[in-house]
């Protein structure tokens, strides 16, 4: 099943001098649930619009199941179900009528469409609300109706743009579970974009981190954090005082440094030691601060300060998401 279903090749989109999507390469395999994560304004929606052929790329190409989205958007849209961010429905129509309209736009005969629509409404939990006007739906209900609207055309690929936006945490969990069950049942490929790493990390097979129009990393959560922090989930900064050893010349200083570095590297859990001026940057797989202090003190070097850094999901956030938003 390692068939490639979505393929983006050096995709670029420029609005005037602003580059929304910058030379993006990405492949998504059939049956996968892929999360496109990034802060607001990172170019996620633009990428999705280009996949559907709703926006033309400046350069590069998009292929969905081997069909070019730019030159043949109709065939692509026949296979792809798209739930836009903050989806809207015709308020004076009932949920069922809204679904039937979508079905008829997909050239489905009315009797089949009606059967299918009622079945889907039942599935997404709107069975009792189907004769209610869509204008009276709550945000979460609208989102679920949106999912039914996407599924009624029986798509091979489902693209969801910010599906969890504006729903309460419990609703998010339910909604994501619904997406997983409904897509796994029929082996559909799902691509969803979000700026909530925490919400979607559990359901995604793979994640692409998207910042400033560029894909900076992709893979599952483990490989992602490994890649992002070069296998150093912990980082310790230690300031050492070399000048305490009076009379030591430069070469001697270096040799002391070397022995210290080597002895630090020997500590289990330490991966990398990098001396910069009077500060040692020590990367380690787990918290081994105690041993490091002991080693440094044992070597006869003075410690001026010690700073412990810990990386996790929150740091992915700080580093890539919130940082960008603050700059805006």
Partner 1 sequence: MSNTSNNIQRIERPNRTGIFRLSGNSFAMRRYRTGERVIHPFRVIVNKEMSDQIRSWRFIILLSLIALTCLASVYTGLSGIGAKMKSADSGNPFFFLLLFTTSDGTLPPFFVFVSFLGPLLGISLGFDAINSEQSRGTLSRVLAQPIHRDYIINAKFLAALNIISVMFFSLGFLVMGAGLILTGIPPTPEEFLRVVFFILISILYVSFWLNLSILFSVRFRQPATSALAGIAIWLFFTVFYNIIVSLIARAATPSATASAQQVAGYQEMILNMLRILPSQLYSDATTTLLVPTVRSLGPLTMDQIVGTIPGPLPFGQSLLLVWPQITGLIAATILCFVLSYISFMKKEIRSR
Among 26, 42, 87, 264, binds partner 1 (CB under 8 A): 87
Does 79 participate in binding partner 1 (rule CB under 8 A)?
yes
**Least CB distance from residue 82 to partner 1, whole Å?**
4
Beta bridge partners of 4: 29
Main-chain dihedrals φ then ψ at residue 161, nearest 5 degrees:
-100, 115
Identify which of residues 168 and 186 has a Cβ nearer to partner 1 in the complex. 186
Q: Return d(Cα 122, Cα 185) in angstroms, integer.
A: 16
Tokens 């559909």 sit at which residue? 188
Token reading at 233: 């989930």
Size of the site for partner 1 (CB under 8 A): 41
Does 58 participate in binding partner 1 (rule CB under 8 A)?
no
Identify which of residues 116 and 218 has a Cβ nearer to partner 1 in the complex. 116
Does 40 participate in binding partner 1 (rule CB under 8 A)?
no
Q: Return d(Cα 100, Cα 83) in angstroms, integer.
A: 16
Does 49 participate in binding partner 1 (rule CB under 8 A)?
yes
Does 4 participate in binding partner 1 (rule CB under 8 A)?
no
**Least CB distance from residue 105 to partner 1, whole Å?**
4
Does 317 participate in binding partner 1 (rule CB under 8 A)?
no
Among 23, 41, 60, 85, binds partner 1 (CB under 8 A): 85
Q: Return d(Cα 307, Cα 1) in angstroms, integer.
A: 48
Binders in 145-164 for partner 1, by CB under 8 A: 146, 149, 153-154, 161
Identify which of residues 35 and 146 has a Cβ nearer to partner 1 in the complex. 146
Greatest alpha-carbon span in the chain: 94
Does 75 participate in binding partner 1 (rule CB under 8 A)?
yes
Does 119 participate in binding partner 1 (rule CB under 8 A)?
no
Identify which of residues 109 and 247 has a Cβ nearer to partner 1 in the complex. 109
Binders in 99-118 for partner 1, by CB under 8 A: 101-102, 104-112
**Least CB distance from residue 97 to partner 1, whole Å?**
10
Stretch that binds partner 1, among 34-42, 79-87, 217-225, 303-311 (CB under 8 A): 79-87
Residues that bind partner 1 (CB under 8 A): 3, 45, 49, 52, 54-55, 65, 74-75, 77-92, 101-102, 104-112, 146, 149, 153-154, 161
């Amino acid at each position: 099943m390692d068939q490639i279903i979505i393929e983006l090749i050096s995709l670029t989109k420029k609005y005037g001098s602003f580059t929304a999507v910058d030379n993006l390469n990405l492949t998504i395999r059939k049956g996968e649930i892929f999360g496109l994560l990034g802060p607001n304004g990172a170019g996620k929606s633009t990428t999705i619009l280009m996949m559907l052929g709703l926006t033309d790329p400046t350069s590069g190409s998009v292929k969905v199941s081997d069909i070019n989205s730019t030159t043949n958007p109709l065939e692509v849209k026949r296979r792809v179900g798209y739930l836009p961010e903050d989806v809207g429905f015709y308020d004076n129509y009932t949920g069922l009528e809204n679904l039937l309209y979508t079905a008829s736009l997909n050239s489905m005969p009315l009797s089949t469409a009606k059967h299918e629509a009622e079945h889907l409404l039942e599935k997404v939990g709107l069975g009792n609300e189907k004769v209610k006007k869509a204008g009276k739906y709550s945000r979460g209900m609208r989102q679920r109706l949106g999912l039914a609207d996407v599924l009624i055309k029986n798509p091979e690929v489902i693209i969801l743009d910010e599906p969890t936006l504006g729903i309460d945490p419990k609703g998010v969990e339910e909604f994501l579970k619904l997406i997983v069950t409904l897509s796994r049942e029929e082996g559909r490929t799902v691509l969803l974009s979000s700026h909530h790493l925490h919400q979607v990390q559990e359901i995604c097979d793979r994640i692409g981190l998207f910042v400033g129009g560029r894909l900076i990393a992709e893979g599952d959560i483990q490989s992602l954090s490994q890649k992002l922090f070069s296998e150093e989930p912990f980082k310790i900064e230690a300031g050492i005082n070399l000048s305490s050893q009076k009379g030591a010349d430069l070469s001697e200083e270096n040799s002391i440094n070397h022995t210290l570095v080597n002895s630090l590297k020997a500590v289990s859990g330490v991966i990398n030691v990098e001396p910069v001026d009077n500060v040692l940057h020590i990367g380690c797989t787990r918290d081994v601060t105690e041993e490091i202090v002991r080693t440094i003190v044992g070597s006869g070097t003075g410690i001026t300060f010690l700073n412990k850094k810990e990386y996790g999901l929150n740091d992915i956030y700080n580093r890539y998401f919130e940082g960008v938003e603050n700059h805006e």
